[in-house]
């Protein structure tokens, strides 16, 4: 059964993204399947997993939220990307900070 681990803190720069990457890769090495979901419009988690220009990605967590909220068909593959060390990532970018009509 899937387990959700949220790494959140109101304060900036306290190693949320770093913890997420290291915890995720550690769990992969133990044999777990891991999907990291970036929920920060800065896209730092997305960047640190190798996608260095998050603002150029067309499908992100914002797209998925938009589709879910409006009853639209979800994009094929849900926009999930793969990191070479075995972790999957649903990316985020600046689009998460804005409203969409
Ligand atoms: N254990 C550590 N020792 C030293 N530096 C660390 C450690 N963990 C993280 N850092 C550094 O601290 C800085 C902030 O880390 P990180 O980006 O993970 O924080 P964050 O909470 O995700 O920040 P933000 O609020 O901007 O999203 C980074 O430069 C990171 O490399
Ligand atoms: Mg961060």
DSSP string for residues in 11-58: SSSSSHHHHHHHHHHHHHHTT---EEE---TT-HHHHHTT---GGG-S
Strand partners, 36: 89
Quote the CA–CA distance of 53 and 88 in Å, as a whole number: 17
Contact 74, 67 (CB under 8 A): yes
Span from the CA of 47 to the centroid of ligand 1 (angstroms)? 13
Confidence (pLDDT) at 1:
87
pLDDT at site 64: 97
Give me the sign of the Cα torsion angle 81, 85, 86, 89.
negative
Tell me, in angstroms, the distance from the centre of ligand 1 to residue 13's CA: 5
Whole-number Å distance, alpha carbon 16 to ligand 1 midpoint, is 7
Q: What is the pLDDT of residue 99?
A: 60
- The ligand that comes nearest to the alpha carbon of residue 12 is 1
Distance (Å, rounded) from C-alpha 69 to C-alpha 86? 30
**pLDDT under 50 in the chain at which residues?**
101
Cβ-contact 81, 91 below 8 angstroms = yes
Q: Which atom of ligand 1 is nearest to the CA of 45?
A: 22
Element (DSSP H or E) covering residue 68: helix 61-69
């Amino acid at each position: 059964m899937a387990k959700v681990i949220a790494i959140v803190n109101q304060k900036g720069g306290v190693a949320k993204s770093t913890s997420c990457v290291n915890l995720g890769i550690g769990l992969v090495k133990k044999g777990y399947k891991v999907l990291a979901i970036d929920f920060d419009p800065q896209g730092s988690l997305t960047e640190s997993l190798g996608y260095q220009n998050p603002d150029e990605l067309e499908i992100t967590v914002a797209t998925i939220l938009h589709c879910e909220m409006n009853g639209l068909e979800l994009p094929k593959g849900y926009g999930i990307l793969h990191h070479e060390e075995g972790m999957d990532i649903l990316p985020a970018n600046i689009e998460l900070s804005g409203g969409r009509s």
